[in-house]
Amino acid sequence: MTDAAPGGDAAGAPQPGRVVVMADDLIWATRLAGQLRTLGAEPLSAATVEALARELAGDLPAARVVVDLTARGYDGVAAVRIAVASGARVLAVGQHDDATLRNTALEAGADRFVPYRLMFDAGPITLAAWLGLAPSLRRTKESSAP
């Protein structure tokens, strides 16, 4: 039996692992979790910064977090900071026309900002690229691809 490569399967293919979905809207959180599950990730839910901190700690911490920046139940930028401080990579999602929030999330350490419209139109492709399962998407005005 061959051991899996770090972050990959036995053949060395990347594995998405555990990903926290931080969204306080149940429909949106369910949709994101479903897309992640389809890509082979293990989605975890967090609707508060305390729940996020729990998912980022412990024996099997999540290495990635998707943060809905416009939630009412938590501070999205604070969630980005908490995730980044734990060493997790962050995909921030929000309104395309809120440049201030987008820039603040990126300054807080988010890998990328993705507008809601792109997540609705091309969520699986966008998530696959962020997870390293597909080629990166080209940078656009509404995106901040690394």
For the chain, domains (ranges, CATH) are 18-130 (3.40.50.2300)
If you average pLDDT over every residue of the chain, what do you get?
84
Compute the C-alpha angle 39/56/24, nearest 5°.
Answer: 70
Burial status of residue 125 (CB atoms within 10 A of its CB: 0-12, 13-18, 19 or more) = middle
Rounded mean pLDDT, 69-97: 95
Measure the CA–CA gap between 89 and 102, rounded to whole angstroms.
16
Rounded mean pLDDT, 100-121: 95
pLDDT in tens, 27-38: 989 999 999 999
Answering whether pTM is above 0.75, one says yes
The side-by-side arrangement of strands in the sheet containing 89-94 is 42-46, 18-22, 64-68, 89-94, 112-115
Helix (H, G, I), strand (E, B) or coil at 21: strand
